[in-house]
Amino acid sequence: MRLLRLSLLINYLSLVKNKKKALTTINIGIFLSLFALSSAIISFQIERKINKLEISLIEYQDLTNLLSKNLVKIETSSALFDINKINEERNWQDIKLLHSTDLGSKILSKNDFYLPSIISLTKSGILQDDLYGEKFIDHMLYIADDKLNLIMKPVFNSFLQSKNEVLEIDYKKYEKKLFQVSKKELLKEITNNKEYSITDYDSEIYKDYRKVNSFLYNLREYRYQLKDYFRGAIQLSTDSSKKEKNKIIELSRKEKKLILTTFFFQFIIFIIIQFFELSSIQETRKRLTK
């Protein structure tokens, strides 16, 4: 059966007319196969480059989102801090004026004024936030260039130093004084005005209050540096993302151009080969007819 099919194929191809059709069909098949192979190779090479760029683009976008979240967090905290400081200044003036009276000196003590500011720091969560931790600061200084290091390092070091000082404060002791004060302690505050006076600048409470104020000042400076850094990093990351997008678009265009160029180049070669083969068949046909 196979021999019969083979003989029929040979007989079919032995005819010049059939041979012409067969060669045309074969050449078209070869042309399409080569074009498909060339397109696949071009697409594979370019898509591999595009995949790398897309991964890089995703990383830049994730970085931009992270920096933006931290920037919003810092800006919100800074705004609240400024509002609290303004209110505290106003309260200080009012309390100082009230404390200058006989009644005010008896009903207001240093515990009433200084302790809320001290305790509110530990309740704020700032001391536990990784954004204000030593590891984060070391990482920031590591990735920053030399110029930024010269600006940020003194501010960061002052912040860390003041943070270590406020971490040494015994907050539990002050919480007891403020929230669990006994009647005996209250009576003592009223009768012993000098010991509990808000102008007692040698007291431990006032010294700790100064530590907290120093920390808050350094915290504000630290936040300013972070905001400037994050804004610059966001802009840099955004620009890098745009460059990666443009590269991806350019590679996609390049892929289309290469495939079209390959198609036309191979099509021209196909036409040339087809021309010579048809010419050869025509010559053979002329010889057979003589």
Q: Where are the domains of the chain?
A: 35-283
Mean pLDDT of the chain: 76
Given this model, what pLDDT does residue 138 score? 85
Is residue 19 predicted with pLDDT exceeding 70?
A: no
* Across 41-48, average pLDDT: 78
* Across 4-25, average pLDDT: 52
Enter the CATH code of domain 35-283: 1.10.287
Lowest model confidence (mean pLDDT) among 76-80, 113-117, 274-278: 274-278
What is the number of other CB atoms lying within 10 angstroms of the CB of residue 120?
A: 12
If one compares 135 and 97, the residue with the highest pLDDT of the two is: 135
Is residue 183 predicted with pLDDT exceeding 60?
A: yes
* Across 172-184, average pLDDT: 76
Terminal CA-CA length for the chain = 36
Given this model, what pLDDT does residue 4 score? 46
If one compares 285 and 225, the residue with the highest pLDDT of the two is: 225
Measured in whole angstroms, the distance separating CA 65 from the mean position of its chain's CA atoms is 5
Question: Distances from the Cα of 177 to the Cαs of 130, 166, 171, 182, 284, in angstroms?
Answer: 30, 18, 10, 9, 116
* For the chain, percent of residues with pLDDT exceeding 90: 2
pLDDT digits (tens, 9 = 90+) for 112-148: 778 888 888 887 788 888 888 888 888 878 877 777 7
Is residue 16 predicted with pLDDT exceeding 70?
A: no
Given this model, what pLDDT does residue 282 score? 58
Given this model, what pLDDT does residue 285 score? 56
Question: Distances from the Cα of 141 to the Cαs of 135, 150, 225, 226, 234, in angstroms?
Answer: 10, 10, 12, 11, 17
Q: What is the rounded CA–CA span in Å between residue 224 and residue 144? A: 16
Using alpha carbons, select from 229, 28, 236 the residue that is nearest to residue 142. Answer: 229
If one compares 16 and 150, the residue with the highest pLDDT of the two is: 150
The widest CA-to-CA distance across the chain, in whole angstroms, is: 141
